[in-house]
Amino acid sequence: MSVHNPDIKRITTHVIQELKNKGEKISALTAYDYSMARIVDGAGVEIILVGDSASNVMAGHETTLPITLDQMIYHAASVVRAVKRALVVVDLPFGSYQGNSSEALRSAIRIMKEAGAHAVKMEGGLEIRESIIRVLSAGVPVMGHLGLTPQSIYKFGTYAVRAKEESEAQKLIDDAKMLEEIGCFSVVLEKIPAALTKKVSESITIPTIGIGAGPDADGQILVLHDLLGITKEFKPRFLRRYADLHDIMSDAIGNYVNDVKAQEFPNENEAY
Ligand code: KIV
């Protein structure tokens, strides 16, 4: 059972801003396909992110780098077909916006046009300012993403907490202010110290959405398969599992195999 407000018929970027303004926390989750997105949307999540974590979760890659724009569009279109209420944000994948601002705009337009998305997410601060401005100028809402930005994993070398040092923390604050100033509607803060999240969330007016960033972000996001306990081996400190679907699914499938072998499935009621 969820406590979402069913009076809000359709979540827009304006509704997301209003939630921060009135101090109500924002819930966000990833989804990559039609069936899961229907469940997530029906449960009252306000933002559904078609994350490039699909590269890990759906395709089994080690990083988010291999997923292509065409593959993101396929996932996003499936999610959009399922969603009636949530705001659907789609990641611009690695290599689809870093080259120059025209490339960024082309990629964002493909996502909006071909998938029917409501907004895009782009990783980075000052380095990609021009690309974000170009996308925004076409009327496409942009969610920023600072802190641990997985598309830069080979630069970082590790998935450890970011911005523990003063200089990186200050750059993150400056980047967050810049994202607000150019018109992003929100910003994801990934794996940074909780105190820094509080400081950023208090110093910008747009909502911050945290993952591994403590309780003071204006909203929280998790990867759906982690929350559901499907990805059993992934156990970061920030993750709370709300179910153990890995074992539930594994038991159900094991029981099916046993029934088939024992010729107990199908029975006469399950046959024509
Ligand atoms: O790709 C993704 O799932 C994300 C979230 C973890 C924020 O970027």
User: Tens digits of per-residue pLDDT, 248-261?
Assistant: 999 999 999 999 99
Res 24 pLDDT > 90: yes
User: What is the pLDDT, as a whole number, of residue 12?
Assistant: 98
Work out the pLDDT band at 265, boundaries 50, 70, 90. very high
Q: Which one, of 176, 108, 119, lies nearest residue 147 by Cα?
A: 176
Of how many residues is the chain composed?
Answer: 272
Work out the pLDDT band at 9, boundaries 50, 70, 90. confident
Residue from 159, 191, 211 to probe ligand 1 pocket by mutation (most atoms less than 8 Å from CB): 211
Helices (H), ranges, 123-244 = 129-137, 153-156, 166-182, 194-203, 224-227
What whole-number distance in Å separates Cα of residue 217 and Cα of residue 130?
26
Active site annotation includes 190: yes
Where along the chain do the CATH 3.20.20.60 domains lie?
13-241
**Centroid of ligand 1 to alpha carbon of 200 (angstroms):** 19
How many separate helices (H) and strands (E) can be counted in the chain? 11, 8
* Tokens found for residue 120: 């895009």
Does ligand 1 lie within 6 Å of residue 226's CB atom? no
Res 16 pLDDT > 60: yes
Domain 13-241 carries which CATH code? 3.20.20.60
pLDDT tens string 75-116: 999 999 999 999 999 999 999 999 999 999 999 999 999 999
Q: Which residue in 18, 190, 264, 270 is the catalytic one?
A: 190
Tell if the pTM clears 0.85, that is, is over it.
yes
What whole-number distance in Å separates Cα of residue 143 and Cα of residue 209?
10
Minimum CA distance residue for ligand 1 atom 1: 51
